[in-house]
Structure 1
Amino acid sequence: MQNKKTLVLLFDYFYDVHFYKDVGMIPYYFHKMFGFNSTIVSYSQDKNTEEDCKGVIIKKIKKILLDPFILYILKNSKNIDLLMMFHNKEKNYFYRKLFKFLNPQGLTYLKLDMNVYNVEKLECFYNSFIKFKDIFKLKIKFIEKIKTIKRYFLYKKIKKELAQFDIVSIENKIFYEKLKQILSLNNLYYIPNGFFDLDENIPPVLSYDKKENIIITVGRIGAKEKNNKMLLNTLERIDLKDWKVYFIGPIEKEFLLKINDFYFRFPKYKEKVFFTGEIKDRNKLYDFYNKSKVFCSTSLWESFGIAMLEAAYFGNYIIGTDTGAIQEITNKGRLGTIIEFNNIEMLAKELQSIINQEKNIEKYCEQIKDFCMKNFLWSNIIRILFEVILNLKR
């Protein structure tokens, strides 16, 4: 490979919050570690500054009648070494075809960023593919036969299109094993998300005895997939004693009614349960992670769960539903507690046992921090991805 390579990510709406997720981290680490000229092309109108993006160029484009991503590829394809896209979408298939037609030597990378429902949908298509050879023998309704035939062709198309990318990656190890089985792709790689270990503002991780009795949850508070009402309903059933709970993240308007009702019925919790709103200052967010002992996730679905990983880095004991990468981050539940979806009693019992000191989480907090540093630092993960690229170029 030449000394100075170019990575371009096509991403519909890039906001400042995305920089600290995989969307921003992969271009940044390629720039920082391997000297790539990294550009994120987006419709976003956020006023990102060069400092905010730490050397990653944000190219803002306007929506017009003709897809502006197509125009960008037509104009810049010859100068792009690695074209990156997110999600299994029809338009990404076309961008790949156009780019490879104009620049056959360029590489294409599709990051699937799938949640459990995306994977289950593919499994459904795969099952129809298996059934297809006996479609006229199956004793099912005619409309079901039509649906099976449709899913059969969708499966064939998706498999064919994904196989044309140079690199396809999935963040979740369980999903990776499933996709290997149902798609049989030679270009499929397990590339997890990581922690921003090159951030100069990361404070030293506090030892457990210096942490406070704090439980946090982080994300878009009130979003359907986050299922924050489960934690709020759980708090009604436990005695927090000297513990505090922080809901950290922008609050959906509809959830404000739930919050007000909670405070109305439990006014004593106004001094124990807090909603911070969005925290853009990374130092302040790191401080919350660092002084907290427990991170709680009640999500119905996640593709990975960056906030959970950040909490693990700072030695938080993880309690969460079986979504995203909780199995990997907690080493299959050995370093945390995996709870059932919407099982308030189970969550209440777990939290109360920690508050009552019936369950000693101190040793787990040290272990999960070490486990995270060993397996989920972006600097290590990007080296693996870069090695994949080098092998393709050899």
Structure 2
Amino acid sequence: MRKEIIMKKFALYMSDIDNYHLTKDVGLIPFIMQKYYGFDSCILIPENNKQYTDNDKYLENLKIIKFEDNNKLLNYLKEVDVLMVIGIYDFNISIINSYKYFNPNGKVYLKLDANLYWLNELNSSITEDTLNTLKKCDLITCESRKIQYFIKSHWDLSSDLMLNGYYEFVDDTFITYEEKENIILFVGRIGSYQKSIDILLNAFKNIESKIPNWKIELIGNMEEGFIRFIYNYFNENPHLMERAIITNYLDKKELKQKYKRSKVFCLTSIWEGCPNVFAEAISNGCYLITSDVTSAIEMIDYGNYGRIFPVKNTTELENELIRVCNDNKLLQNNCEASQIYSRNNLCWINLCGIINNKLAL
């Protein structure tokens, strides 16, 4: 008689999740742990009426279990070998305590997903009980050495550095420099206060004559309150209509083509943890120009694959754009080198292998 193979169970608990989260780290980690590392994975969320169409499209119908009450959740957690949570929130602290009480041999993986601003705010009110709960975690990963230092020096918590990676849904063929065009790309919520994309638009307006053969392309859903800014921008600068392109949400295949064609990726955020677009851009041979957000220095590998400018400093952004866009040799070398670097250091399949080894089940 063939012996039944019992798969280890990996569960991500979330208090809420939207469809777009599934193709970010939130959905990718449990998916890859199942597809490549032999786990029986699922995402646990409270009952809701949301549709998760990307689950079928990209994650091979990963189990998404909606629980009606905490009793159902706790009964399921008793059988889970690894519980993953993201962020230091009250609901995660509660679920860690419950999980460790009912399943003391189970492993807890906390993905910190934090920025320094948020941690400083949290530090002013964090309790001893919360710190004791965090010390129950078997693995904590964070996306910046600044974060590592902060939680060690303030809370005596050890962690592993792990940047957000990329997973190729379309194809992972090497991109040649000849495939690229003079495009500065942005992907994200256009017009949100956090993303501060007006800085890029204004910088481009000021220097467009110094990079005459370049375009910028903004991809993503636009905030309603930003429509007036865009109207005024093109009304005052009609000559930029063909050089500042705005595109709505794209699927993975279409977005892949945008990354492949672009030489530069620009992020102007006021704050970030470690945005997924960093790894997506680098893995497609884009040179990064980013504001000084928490994980920026690690993501550009300390200056090897990009440049950093001070937050909300339009003048410094202009200087970096002029320097980079007029340095063809830099961009050509980066196209190959950044793809090699990302395959070795930012591929989610390999990163999940590290998680698997750290948990040592």
TM-score (norm. length: structure 2)? 0.91
Q: Look up the match of 2:174.
A: 205
Count of residues in correspondence between the two structures? 352
Query: Which residue of 2 is the match for residue 380 of structure 1?
Result: 350
1:160 aligns with 2:132: yes
Structure 1 residue 283 displacement after superposition: 0.8
CA 1:104–1:357 in structure 2 vs 1: closer, same or farther (change >3 Å)? closer
Distance 1:104 1:73 in 2: 16
Q: Which residue of 2 aligns with 1:238?
A: 207
SS state at 1:302 partner: coil
* Cα shift readout 1:73-94 (whole Å, capped 9, x = no counterpart): 2231232111111110122121
- Which of 34, 58, 62 is the equivalent residue of 1:56? 62
Superposition misfits of 4+ residues, deviation over 6 angstroms: none
Larger radius of gyration: 1
The RMSD of aligned alpha carbons is 2.0
Q: Secondary structure of the equivalent of 1:388?
A: helix
More helix by share: 1
CA deviations on 1:223-274 (whole Å, 9 max, x unpaired) are 1111111111112201242221111111111111111111111111111111
- Alpha-carbon distance in structure 2 between the residues aligned to 1:333 and 1:158: 37
Q: How does 1:221-370 map to 2 (within 5 A)?
A: 221-239=190-208, 240-279=211-250, 281-357=251-327, 360-370=330-340
Deviation at 1:377, TM superposition (A): 0.9
For 1:214, what is the secondary structure of its paired residue?
Answer: strand
Match of 1:169 among 123, 138, 141: 141
Is contact 1:206-1:291 (8 Å) kept?
A: no
Gaps of 5+ in 2: none
- Which digits, 9 at most, give the CA deviation of each residue in 1:86-145, with x for residues without a partner? 1101221211122222222222222111012123235x54xxxxxxxxxxxxxxxxxxxx
1:319-374 CA-partner distances (Å, limit 9, x unpaired): 01111422112111232111111111111122123444487422233222222222
Contact 1:113–1:303 (Cα < 8 Å) also in 2: yes
**Structure 1: 5+ residue runs without aligned partners?**
63-67, 126-150
Shift, 1:3, TM fit: 4.0
Query: Partner residue of 1:145?
Result: none
1:194 & 1:162 partners in 2: Cα distance? 24
CA distance in 1 between counterparts of 2:327 and 2:140 reads 45
Q: CA–CA distance in 2 between the matches of 1:88 and 1:71?
A: 23
Which of 172, 175, 178 in structure 1 is aligned with 2:150?
A: 178
Matches within 5 A, 1:29-178: 29-43=32-46, 45-48=50-53, 49-61=55-67, 68=69, 70-122=70-122, 125=124, 151=125, 154-178=126-150
The SS at the match of 1:42 is strand
State the Cα distance separating 1:205 from its structure 2 match: 3.1
